Structure 1
Amino acid sequence: MTHKTLQDALEWRYATKKFDPTKKISDADWVQLRNSLTLAPSSYGVQPWRFLVVENPEVRNQLKPVSWNQTQVTDASHYVVFQYKEKMDPDFVQKFIQRMADVRETSLESLDGYKNLLIENLVKAPEEKIRVWSQRQTYIAMGFLLQTAALLRIDATPMEGFDPAAYDKILGTEGSGWKTVATVALGYRHSEDPLQHQKKVRFNEADLIHYVK
């Protein structure tokens, strides 16, 4: 990838307001978008998130009214709901440690020190602290998805304009320990979306980036 390729992708993307419902993301491109979510980094590597890909049109229609009636919910090719783990628990930590042992082909006993670290820093931490931490971690995965979409020339719109509690109820995740925090609509811009012709407004680099020497 050249520097120009990356720069062009960053300049090209914008938060699409109106999607073309007739255009769908290819299976091959969707694989790469999925990979960006599963390969996103997280603190301790524990991935305190999950992603619900809402394919059912009826469910999307139910979500639209609790999303300020934004058309991206129903018109985008793919609609991904980001959920964070509300509370860390020993079972989740054990599941992660087991996965680490399997992938790295090592014994569970050799990971006891890391497991105890996670228990001490996450499971025993104040619940409010973990909720905030989990939410912030989830936005890291969103960033990876948005960047990957831009490189693939797939439009993406990050969204927080909805009722999270209503989402949890409609999606059947109330009381599951997972809570909705944000969504991303993915697809292709409609030719009638006026935002695509507007210049991107950003502060000058000097206002945003400061070097500490």
Structure 2
Amino acid sequence: MSSTKQIMEALEWRYATKRYDATKKISESDWKTLTNSLLMAPSSYGVQPWKFLIVENPQVREQLKAVSWNQTQVTDASHYVVFAYKEEMDEAFIQKYVDRISEVRKVNPESLNGYKAMMIENLAKAPGEKIKVWSQRQAYIAMGFLLETAALLKIDATPMEGLDPASYDKILGLEGSGYKTVATVALGYRHAEDTFQNMQKVRFAEDSVIEYVK
């Protein structure tokens, strides 16, 4: 199968799964690929202002379900990922990132001083609300990578915003951590009786949403 055909089939196949088969679990090797898609996701400046909480504890997932409009995906999916964004950027976090660049690329940290200064000016000194919105947007980029990778692996996924972020933060111990919940993704395998899998996708015509500026 050509890569183009594989991608198109995956895009057609995937949908926001409403009901999962709780007896089916994602293999260890496939899960490693999915977590790598999160680790490899791009972010502005490459700074990665996020955390991904993989909720395995059944009791915790039951608590989260109660503050997610009792959506069964929370408890029935094989894996459940909570996307948390960094509330603010400070010089310490930026330094941590610069140190990581130096370590991975084996370059002198001093050679990164200009890049570090730019990040401090644009991020650490930016208004708090601006950074919150920016961080949330970065988290959604990572979510997109996870959803596409899951589709290519024929693993079902459901992006979810129908939840109480503040309650999630409390249940997951995020309060005071500098990170806050923004959304989640359930992953696993669709239940045979989930009728949504047989529905046609509804999308606007290409010429109404894609415009070429020449």
Q: TM-score, normalised by structure 1?
A: 0.99
Q: Report the equivalent of 1:200.
A: 201
Read off the aligned partner of 2:75 and give its amino acid letter.
T
Q: Report the equivalent of 1:17.
A: 18
Matches of residues 50-199 of structure 1 in structure 2 within 5 Å?
A: 50-199=51-200
Read off the aligned partner of 1:193 and give its amino acid letter.
D
Root mean square deviation, CA, Å: 0.6
Aligned length: 213
Question: 1:49 and 2:50 equivalent?
Answer: yes
CA distance in 1, matches of 2:64, 2:138: 24
Structure 2 stretches lacking a partner, 5+ long: none
Percent identity of paired positions between Structure 1 and Structure 2:
71
CA distance in 2, matches of 1:110, 1:3: 41
Q: Which deviations, in whole Å up to 9, do the C-alpha atoms of 1:88-138 show, x marking residues without a partner?
A: 011110110000000000111111111111100000001110000000011
CA distance in 2, matches of 1:53, 1:139: 16
Read off the aligned partner of 2:150 and give its amino acid letter.
A
Displacement, 1:140? 0.1
CA distance in 1, matches of 2:115, 2:166: 34
Q: Which deviations, in whole Å up to 9, do the C-alpha atoms of 1:6-25 show, x marking residues without a partner?
A: 10000000000000000000
CA distance in 2, matches of 1:2, 1:41: 22
Displacement, 1:60? 0.1
Secondary structure (helix, strand or coil) at the match of 1:17 reads coil
CA distance in 2, matches of 1:71, 1:2: 34
Read off the aligned partner of 1:86 and give its amino acid letter.
E
Displacement, 1:59? 0.3
Q: Which stretches of structure 1, 4 residues or longer, exceed 4 Å deviation after superposition? A: none
Displacement, 1:2? 2.2
CA distance in 2, matches of 1:110, 1:211: 40
Q: TM-score, normalised by structure 2?
A: 0.99
Secondary structure (helix, strand or coil) at the match of 1:157 reads strand
Structure 1 stretches lacking a partner, 5+ long: none
